[in-house]
Amino acid sequence: MAKSTSVDDRRLVPLAKRLRPSRVVLNVVLGIVAIFWLVPTISLLVISLRPEALFGQSGWWKVFTAPSQLTWGNYAAIFSQGFHTGGVLDSLMTSLEITIPATILVALISSLAAYSLVFGYWRGRDIIFLVIVGLMVVPLQVALIPVVQFYRELGNLFGLNPYGTIPGVIIFHVAFGLPFGIFLMRNFFTGIPKDLLEAGRIEGAGEWKIFYRIVLPLALPAIASLAIFQFIWVWNDLLVALVFLGGNVHAPLTIFLYDQTRSLAANYWIVSTGAVVSIVIPLIVFFSFQRYFIRGVLAGAVK
């Protein structure tokens, strides 16, 4: 009987640990914080699903007592405009035209530069890396005016002025995304055993083949993490887009939403609906690469 009681006691110990009051309180507190954190997003979604006429009559929380208010009319209205200049879909496509090339170029150039810094044998690579790390602390706002002047000088010299064009914005984002990208990729590459590369060279593989057949597959988690960071940074950018594309007929989604709030009668139903649309794309990107995100960031930080 005593033996049976001791076995039961041992079985109850893990259950008691799982039900400790401190852990329960912690979970409750974290749940409350998560709810408060999600309130702005939930309110934005609810506002986008309510008719425009109800915006000034009652708060968005009234929908919980009258769910019949919910409608897809706002989304139908903005998507019915099609891809005409200045519409939501046109701005969405412009944002994609800027973000996708800027993300791909930063990931590719950062990987190549990090490969050279880690596995290349040339003088001054450590000094170059320190300079790149130093560039990470340069504020983006400081470079806006010099870059605009540089673009105009290019136009005077070669007749090709990137200012006010989508390629000009892409070049700017790539230039400011490279320091962090090279830093992240370089830290990850230092953990790759050099014996793998030596084995490839013994087999007769060149540097380019070693890069894309050996190094890139191993660096996929870090590349995915960098792509997520760069995509979100460029997608949510407003300042650079205002400076370089403020007068362009094809503006990104951030400028489109900004223009809706500058007038005296702000179109809040368009702002809320367009904001939800702008949130969906980064969420798709994040959840598509989330299995690589934490692994890539931690690997680069530890190594």
Question: Which residue segments constitute the domains of the chain, with CATH numbers given?
Answer: 2-71 (no CATH), 82-302 (1.10.3720.10)
Mean pLDDT of the chain: 81
Q: How far apart are CA 262 and CA 248, in angstroms?
A: 17
Of 53-57, 92-96, 197-201, 297-301, give the range with the top mean pLDDT: 92-96
Query: Taking 70 as the threshold, does the pLDDT of residue 265 lie above it?
Result: no
Tell me: pLDDT of 148 over 50: yes
Band (17; pLDDT cuts 50, 70, 90): low
Distance CA 137, CA 60 (A): 41
Q: State the Cα–Cα distance between residues 129 and 144, nearest whole angstrom.
A: 24
pTM of the model: 0.81
What pLDDT, on the 0 to 100 scale, is given for residue 125?
85
Q: What is the pLDDT of residues 220-230, one digit of tens each?
A: 888 988 999 89
Residue 10 pLDDT > 90: no
Number of residues in the chain: 303
Model confidence at 14, in pLDDT bands (50, 70, 90)? Answer: low
Separation of alpha carbons 131 and 127, rounded Å: 6
Would you state the pLDDT for residue 21?
Answer: 62
| Predicted local distance difference test score (pLDDT) of residue 299 | 55
Percent of the chain with pLDDT over 90: 16
List all residues 6 or more positions away from 238 whose beta carbon is below 8 Å from its beta carbon. 254, 255, 258
What does the pLDDT read at residue 59? 76
Structure-token pair, residue 149? 């002047």
**How far is Cα 191 from Cα 298, in angstroms, rounded to an integer?**
12
The answer, yes or no, to whether residue 2 has pLDDT greater than 50, is: no
Mean pLDDT of the 280-302 span = 71
CA–CA gap between residue 181 and residue 34 (Å, rounded):
31
108: pLDDT strictly greater than 60: yes
- Residue 303: the pLDDT is 46
Higher pLDDT, 201 or 227: 227
DSSP conformational letter for 65:
T
State pLDDT tens for residues 70-98: 888 888 878 877 676 677 888 899 999 99
pLDDT at 172: 93
The reported pLDDT for the residue numbered 11 is: 53
Q: Which segment of 38-52, 56-70, 204-218, 268-282 scores lowest on mean pLDDT?
A: 56-70
The yes-or-no verdict on residue 102 having pLDDT over 90 is: yes
